[in-house]
Amino acid sequence: MQGSLCQKKGFSYKQYIGVLRRRREAFGWTLLTDQKRFYAENYPRLVIERITMDEFILMMLKGEEL
């Protein structure tokens, strides 16, 4: 699985597919997804970043499972 972080202020995760974990940040939400291509094509203004191993571990330990 290739993980990606999606970040956006006011992001409503319930209306999107492939969101595995979420974590509240000062600016909004950080989401872990395995649907990077879907979001890049359908939501071009959404910030999508490659996840590092440290970020993945943090999301798995501290993120809420959906």
CB 8 within 8 A of CB 55: no
With cut-offs at 50, 70 and 90, classify the pLDDT of residue 6: low
pLDDT level of residue 9 (50, 70, 90 thresholds): low
Distance CA 6, CA 15 (A): 14
Whole-model pTM: value is 0.67
Find the mean pLDDT for residues 57-62: 88
Which of 44 and 5 is assigned the larger pLDDT? 44
Report how many domains make up the chain. Answer: 1
* pLDDT at res. 1: 44
Count Cα neighbours of 41 within 13 Å in the Cβ-side half-sphere: 4
The amino acid at residue 22 is R
Whole-number Å distance between alpha carbons of 49 and 46: 10
- Supply the range of the domain harboring residue 43: 4-65
Q: Convert the pLDDT of each residue in 14-58 to its tens digit.
A: 556 778 888 888 888 888 888 888 888 888 888 888 889 998 898
